[in-house]
A and B are shown apart, each in its own frame.
Chain A
Amino acid sequence: MKIRVDPDKCQGHARCYDLARELFDVDDYGQSSVIVDQVPAELEDNARLAIANCPEYAIEIISE
């Protein structure tokens, strides 16, 4: 699984970072980014949880 955060949609709610720090980082301005190339299989549920909690629908699945 590959995911990305759309920087134009992300508004810094940081829900993804709070839910899955293994997958996301957040900068001083609240901008989130994905820190892994591939989501490890055991973290796929966390990735889906982050996607389902983003109020801006900013996290996309690039490939399953």
Chain B
Amino acid sequence: MVDTAPVTDWSTDFDVMDPEYLTDPFSIWDELRQTCPIPHTDRRKSSWMPLRYEDVTAIAHDIEHFSSLKVAVIPGDEDEDPNADFDGPNLEYGLPPISADPPLHTWTRRLLLPWFSHKRVDSYVPLTRELCRSLLDGFADKGHADAAADYAQQIPVRVIARILGVSTDLADTFTGWVRDVLEFADDAERRQRGAEGLLYYFIEQLSYRKENPGDDLLSELLHTEVEGQPVDDGIVLGMAALVLIAGVDTTWSAIGSSLWHLATQAEDRKRLVDEPALMPTAVEELLRAYSPVTMAREVTEDIDYAGCPLKKGDKVLMNFPAANRDPEAFEHPEVVLLDRAHNRHVAFGSGIHRCAGSNLARMELSVALEEWLARVPEFSLADGEEITWAGGQVRGPRLLPVIFP
């Protein structure tokens, strides 16, 4: 059983699923950066968590000592079973390229990247905009909505379904599977259910597309050749599952956190409404301040890093969100500056695993905010109603009730 007792010592016994941490990790990071910038825990598995920009980016670039084969922040029974990070049928290669090291990482990534290039992403703008508008049609006249569940959550899953070539009617089912795998991973049964649902669905879809190819990502992966050979079915399955998993929880969380910020900071909301040209820098700043994603690495051999005795097999939780709040790297990192000019943030990671979907995520966040502000320029949190946050691998609001005139 996972130890879920409240944390009393964040340096030696941290818990990224602690309720206090889920709601406000920022003050905990700020204190730890001063006293213990790479805290450790033995909960779930021996894990280290770098919080400084310098450490996070250095480790991200050291792929020799820090492998990406196991990237789950909440581990499964992976020590016993190498596939347990993502249990299910035929996933001997995990979810490449995210859970791969070179050379598998390199060529699988090259297969995905063109689908998320600027050119391709520009072609997804009209459907994203139309989707946002139809969601807003559903509640803009009601005076209240859940900005997370009714809006943010509904957008990326449908765009990614279109790219994959699967039915957008199953959006809620996809979201459920992804949440089971990422957000409820401490519950082994639920995690297993999500993983199986997702994998069996894609096995069926891939089998259909083998005979009936379309112009979608799944079909291309099935019919492409690498060095004269077709791609192994298990690799295609892992890549398909990855695109869905990585394309759903992450961007939805960024949209939700950004709307939370604008609901609570009226000055920023008004400024963005009055100065829509600020959107590009505002999007980068909101990504910096509320970076959703933490990825894990696995230590490949015993090594001392910055005075920490890392052991082979330890996890390192790459806290990109905390790196982006490091005062050594950003002036007044605690302040959201919608026009921040110098913003070398690593919300999409750093090094060879830079998020392959970063162009898509930026576009979705930007379009989602533009459309929301055009239709609902004034809004605030609904008094007395509960806001909940998911965290661990991906941080963002899951319930975000707001009201508007």
Which A residues are closer than 8 A to B by beta carbons?
A: 11-15, 17-18, 26-30, 49, 52-56
Partner of A53, one of B110, B344, B350, B352: B344
CB pair A29 B110 closer than 8 Å: yes
CB pair A28 B114 closer than 8 Å: yes
Min Cβ gap B111→A in Å is 10
User: Can you list 29 A-B contacts with CB-CB less than 8 angstroms, sorted by A residue number?
Assistant: A11-B352, A12-B354, A12-B358, A13-B348, A13-B358, A14-B118, A14-B358, A15-B284, A17-B118, A18-B280, A18-B362, A26-B118, A27-B117, A28-B114, A29-B110, A29-B117, A30-B117, A30-B359, A49-B342, A52-B342, A52-B344, A53-B284, A53-B342, A53-B343, A53-B344, A55-B57, A55-B346, A55-B350, A56-B350
Q: Which of chain A's residues have a CB closer than 8 A to the CB of B303?
A: none
- Confirm or deny: B142 has a beta carbon within 8 angstroms of a beta carbon on chain A: no
Contact residues of B between 312 and 342, Cβ < 8 Å to A: 341-342
CB pair B113 A30 closer than 8 Å: yes
Number of B interface residues, CB 8 Å? 23
Chain B residue at minimum C-beta to C-beta distance from A17: B118
Q: Which of chain A's residues have a CB closer than 8 A to the CB of B351?
A: 11, 56
Partner of B119, one of A28, A49, A53, A56: A28
Q: Which of chain B's residues have a CB closer than 8 A to the CB of A29?
A: 110, 113-114, 117
Min Cβ gap B277→A in Å is 14
- A-B contacts at CB below 8 angstroms, number: 49
A53–B280 CA distance with the chains assembled, in angstroms = 13
Min Cβ gap B281→A in Å is 9
- Confirm or deny: B395 has a beta carbon within 8 angstroms of a beta carbon on chain A: no
Q: Which of chain A's residues have a CB closer than 8 A to the CB of B352?
A: 11
A49–B340 CA distance with the chains assembled, in angstroms = 11
> Which 5 pairs of residues, A with B, have the shortest CB-CB distance?
A11-B354, A28-B114, A52-B342, A28-B117, A29-B113
Chain B 349-391 near chain A by CB (<8 Å), digits 1 or 0: 0111010001100100000000000000000000000000000
CB pair B342 A28 closer than 8 Å: no
Chain B 7-29 near chain A by CB (<8 Å), digits 1 or 0: 00000000000000000000000
Chain A residue at minimum C-beta to C-beta distance from B112: A29
A14–B118 CA distance with the chains assembled, in angstroms = 9
Chain B 274-296 near chain A by CB (<8 Å), digits 1 or 0: 00000010001000000000000
- The verdict on A11 contacting B118 (CB below 8 Å), with A18-B280, A29-B113 known, is no
- Confirm or deny: B345 has a beta carbon within 8 angstroms of a beta carbon on chain A: yes
A61–B129 CA distance with the chains assembled, in angstroms = 39
Min Cβ gap B60→A in Å is 10
CB pair B359 A14 closer than 8 Å: yes
CB pair A12 B346 closer than 8 Å: no
